[in-house]
Amino acid sequence: MPESKFSVVPLIAILLPWTTLVAILVFPKRAQRLRLWLCSLGSLATFGVVLSMLPSVLDGNRYTINLASVVENLEIRLYVDTLGYYFALILSFLWMLATIYSISYIDHKHNRFFAFMALCESFILGCAFSANMFTYFIFYEMMTFGSYPLIIHEETTVARRAGYKYLVYAIAAGTVLFFAIVAHYFWGDGQLGFGKYGVLSLETASRAALMTVFFTYLAGFGVKAAIMPLHGWVPDAHPAAPSPASALLSGVILKAGAFGIIRVCFNVFGVDLMRELKVNVVMAIAACITIVVASVFALTQDNLKRRLAYSSIGQVSYIILGLAMLAHDGALGGVMHLTHHALMKGCLFLCAGVILVKTGKKNISEMAGVGYQLPITMICFSVCALAMMGTPPSVGFITKWLLGSGSLEAGLPVYIVILLVSALLNAAYFLPIVYTAFFRWEGDELDEHGERHHPKLVFGKEADHKLVIPVVVLAALVIIVGIWSNVPGFPYSLVSKVAKAIFP
């Protein structure tokens, strides 16, 4: 671990969401509005604290704090490096918007929802700031179980079934992951920490042993990162959960799995060892299959959130593909896509939520003319949909560009074909939604005078501000981040350092 200095700031960031619980417990039921605002203030403050670390992280400072050491090598330690900080920044930002959005979206059992939202944020920040696999696993498991009440929040039969499926997958994955960590600890000489270039080596363990560790990690995190065929819970959980929760599921919780894989690749195994073991081939194949097959599945879905969920499955595999290229640009694009996808998909799910609240429509086939009723939302939706296809200037384009360049760098142009097919499929399943929303409407026939009655665009009566503002902010960021990616705090400014360090 490079030189690092003691700081309580990461701990404060992790503990701040707990103030939400205090707010819920302290203030009486009568002060419901006050409680809800305090909840979002908690997430705002958390984002603020995370943001406050930006200058020092960019300067190359490393904050660390040891919470507990069970024995030597086995400690619960927080550690803020560029990669972890990068994840924490986007997740706390998205979480803040989702919390504000939830105030007006959630209509029953507010306390449970906000309490578990806050808990999950705390845990997942713990994941981002963990210094070793042991800590990561502890926070990861708590986050897994903490997100269950978010998924079944609606308490319908469908939601319950989705929650059940989620638990089954999560418990199985947790078990595999646990095995992976024990094996890692055993063969890695008790080194669970994240090294700059990886900690495992062929000197301490055999080839087969290291392969076992890698693939159990991949399988364990792959369930959350929805690598096919481990993705089963995703398409059920997303539509069942309330929209802000689906946005977070897709934008952050899936990424926690992907982030785990990033850590395993960069900081546990290291690029050289992966190249030596050739494990990246399997990763790449799995990712390519997932990207294409998930997009094909997405085509057939009529339920909007289900279609978005399948899209997420495909998109998260971009990250995996980028890692598997073992090339500078590939890694850069893959890791940056973590934020890019969180912005785009977060926005899309929140849009789906607005549509659901205002019109009650879940299925795409029913959405004719929605664009006239909810113009701002649907414009934002369209922006993100175009970004998903990789249209410049947007974040999606940056991802595609970097991944394409990475595949050339890795000498495997076949990946570009996959990316193009994916872009095509993305267009095929996103454009019909935009088309239905804006270019078809109820009673879309000629009247007796042979004229169409065009509905009017209605601005200003869209929905509650708390619903619309997060949507607009995210859509704006999709463009802004796509143009000025090197602004301090934006993905390129952070990830380029990581990539440069790993691929000098």
Q: Least Å distance between CB 182 and another protein?
A: 5
Strand order in the sheet with 63-71: 5-6, 63-71, 74-80
179 touches another protein by CB under 8 A: yes
**Please, which residue, 179 or 372, has the CB nearer to another protein?**
179
* DSSP at 445: S
**Please, which residue, 57 or 173, has the CB nearer to another protein?**
173
**Look-up of token digits 């000498």:** 411
228 touches another protein by CB under 8 A: no
Total binding residues toward another protein, as defined by CB under 8 A: 24
**Reduced to 3 states, what is the DSSP secondary structure of residue 400?**
helix
167 touches another protein by CB under 8 A: yes
CA–CA dist 383, 398 (Å, integer)? 15
Interaction pattern, residues 113-152, with another protein; x per rule: CB under 8 A:
------------------------xx--xx--x------x
**Reduced to 3 states, what is the DSSP secondary structure of residue 450?**
coil
Q: Least Å distance between CB 172 and another protein?
A: 7
Interaction pattern, residues 185-224, with another protein; x per rule: CB under 8 A:
xx--------------------------------------
With contact defined as beta carbons under 8 Å apart, do 196 and 160 qualify?
no
172 touches another protein by CB under 8 A: yes
Q: Which of 57, 115, 183, 234 binds another protein (CB under 8 A)?
A: 183
Q: Least Å distance between CB 133 and another protein?
A: 12
Would the CA dihedral through 239, 242, 245, 247 be positive or negative? positive
- Of 146, 42, 14, 184, the C-alpha closest to 103 is 42
Which span sits near another protein by CB under 8 A: 65-73, 320-328, 383-391, 494-502?
A: 65-73
Residue 433 tokens read as 């939604």
204: which strand partners?
A: none
**Please, which residue, 167 or 277, has the CB nearer to another protein?**
167
Report CA dihedral (269, 271, 272, 275) to the nearest 10 degrees: 100
Residue 417 tokens read as 């074909």
Report CA dihedral (475, 477, 478, 480) to the nearest 10 degrees: 130
With contact defined as beta carbons under 8 Å apart, do 44 and 33 qualify?
no
CA–CA dist 493, 487 (Å, integer)? 6
With contact defined as beta carbons under 8 Å apart, do 315 and 225 qualify?
no
Which span sits near another protein by CB under 8 A: 66-74, 315-323, 336-344, 472-480?
A: 66-74
**Please, which residue, 175 or 486, has the CB nearer to another protein?**
175
Q: Which of 27, 155, 453, 469 binds another protein (CB under 8 A)?
A: 155
Q: Least Å distance between CB 108 and another protein?
A: 13
**Please, which residue, 156 or 486, has the CB nearer to another protein?**
156
Binding site for another protein (CB under 8 A): 68-71, 137-138, 141-142, 145, 152, 155, 160, 163, 167, 171-172, 174-175, 178-179, 182-183, 185-186
